[in-house]
Amino acid sequence: MEERTQAPRKTPLWDAHRTLGAKLIDFGGWLMPVQYPSGIIDEHRATRSAVGVFDVCHMGEVHFRGARAIEAVQRLVTGDVGRLAPGRALYTVACLPTGGIVDDLIVYKIATDHLLIVVNASNIAKDVAWFRENVGAWCDIVDASDETGLIAFQGPQAQAALQTLTATPLGNVRSFDFLGDATVAGIAVSMARTGYTAEDGFELFCRALDAPALWDALVAAAGIVGGKPVGLGARDTLRLEGRLSLYGNDLTEETTPLEAGLGWVVKFDAGDFVGKESLLRQQAEGVRRKLVGFVMTGRGIARHGYPIVNGDLARIGEVTSGAPGPTVGKNIGLGYIPSTLADAGTHVTVDCRGKLVEAEVVKGPFYKRPKPTS
């Protein structure tokens, strides 16, 4: 009998992408636009200079409701959910008992008895099962991913362009604020001032059936200020320039937040979250490896999986993400290396398919958005 492979799923914006001439690929079981006709670099630059519109309907939305909802979510994540005010969001991680990362995610506190967690698309089934296994008896857990549309609107002109479509005063919406009840282009939405591009911007939740109309309105508003739709290719270079980690590459169940430079999302005094004991032990003993950012000083592009070697050509680490950075004008990457080599200024070598290319470890993000001028 022939093995049947499952066809990739389509987001509610599938027809819109075809109309726009997008190149579509299978991404984690979803048919997604990797780029539109103008190309990845043009889409990247449009987001940095104006605004980009991103289909992120493939992401997962999981609701926690009930008197113990806060307690349940706190058990699952390393961030301090108890201190999170209604209408606010936080970036955090969920861990295994070993301290390995189940997923990185954003928690939105809608009310004291209602929280929303947005999870990575490839992890929806795994995460929901993990949530229910650990706290399923504590509160109602509802996977609303199939019924929810999610569109990101990112860039320095995001607020101005979005303001033309809504009466909500966006200047009052702070970073990581969440508005549960708003209207954009006549469509009921929830929105948050969050994103994955190292730019200012918003993420808009709507009913899946309303997503095409919302998309069309956002694309039109973006076009007026020089923005455009953006595919997964530029989404990756944008997040990499901002040194934002990608689950499955930079973060896995074999990496801990302390190794991945995410110690700031681990609040040991927040509660008895899964993985706490292992992370406390690792903190006391010190991490043996760290995720670092590096710039290629020789001619070559680092790619996921390339070995990082020492002077004796012995493998000491591995590239987890790498690409040319269109804004910074350099070939950049992330990778795990021994903690003893993780200081900025350290030189390492990347084995690019047999070609040895020098790289320098650097501190902080490769790109920081300019501060707004008053």
Report the side by side order of strands in the sheet with 228-230. Answer: 178-184, 187-192, 201-207, 148-154, 52-55, 228-230
- Does residue 1 carry a pLDDT above 70? no
Q: Using one digit for the tens of pLDDT, what is the confidence trace for 41-70?
A: 999 999 999 999 999 999 999 999 999 999
Q: Using one digit for the tens of pLDDT, what is the confidence trace for 311-370?
A: 888 999 999 999 999 999 999 999 999 999 999 999 999 999 999 999 999 999 999 998
Helical H segments across the chain, by residue range? 14-19, 40-49, 69-76, 124-135, 158-163, 211-224, 232-241, 276-285
- The per-residue pLDDT for 259 is 99
Do the Cβ atoms of 114 and 63 come closer than 8 Å? yes
Q: What integer is the mean pLDDT of 272-294?
A: 98
Q: Where in the sequence of the chain do the CATH 2.40.30.110 domains occur?
A: 288-362
Residues 6+ apart with CB under 8 A from 104: 91, 92, 93, 120, 245, 247, 251, 262
Q: What integer is the mean pLDDT of 144-170?
A: 99
- Does residue 373 carry a pLDDT above 80? no
Q: Using one digit for the tens of pLDDT, what is the confidence trace for 225-262?
A: 999 999 999 999 999 999 999 999 999 999 999 999 99
Range scoring the smallest mean pLDDT among 3-12, 131-140, 305-314: 3-12
Share of the chain above pLDDT 90, in %: 95
- The per-residue pLDDT for 4 is 47
**Topology of the domain comprising 9-56+147-241:** Gyrase A; domain 2 (3.30.1360)
> Does the reported pTM lie above 0.75?
yes
- The per-residue pLDDT for 116 is 99
What does the alpha-carbon distance between residue 333 and residue 11 come to, in Å, rounded to a whole number?
Answer: 30
Q: Looking at residue 88, what DSSP letter applies?
A: E
pLDDT band at 5 (very low <50, low <70, confident <90, very high): low
Q: Using one digit for the tens of pLDDT, what is the confidence trace for 112-129?
A: 999 999 999 999 999 999
What does the alpha-carbon distance between residue 166 and residue 186 come to, in Å, rounded to a whole number?
Answer: 8
Q: What integer is the mean pLDDT of 154-166?
A: 99
Residues 6+ apart with CB under 8 A from 61: 116, 117, 118, 119, 143, 144, 145, 148, 150, 205
- The per-residue pLDDT for 2 is 45
**Topology of the domain comprising 288-362:** Elongation Factor Tu (Ef-tu); domain 3 (2.40.30)
- The per-residue pLDDT for 3 is 47
Please give the mean pLDDT across all residues of the chain: 97
- The per-residue pLDDT for 312 is 84
Q: What integer is the mean pLDDT of 265-289?
A: 98
Q: What integer is the mean pLDDT of 272-280?
A: 98
Q: Where in the sequence of the chain do the CATH 3.30.1360.120 domains occur?
A: 9-56+147-241
- The per-residue pLDDT for 371 is 81
- The per-residue pLDDT for 313 is 86
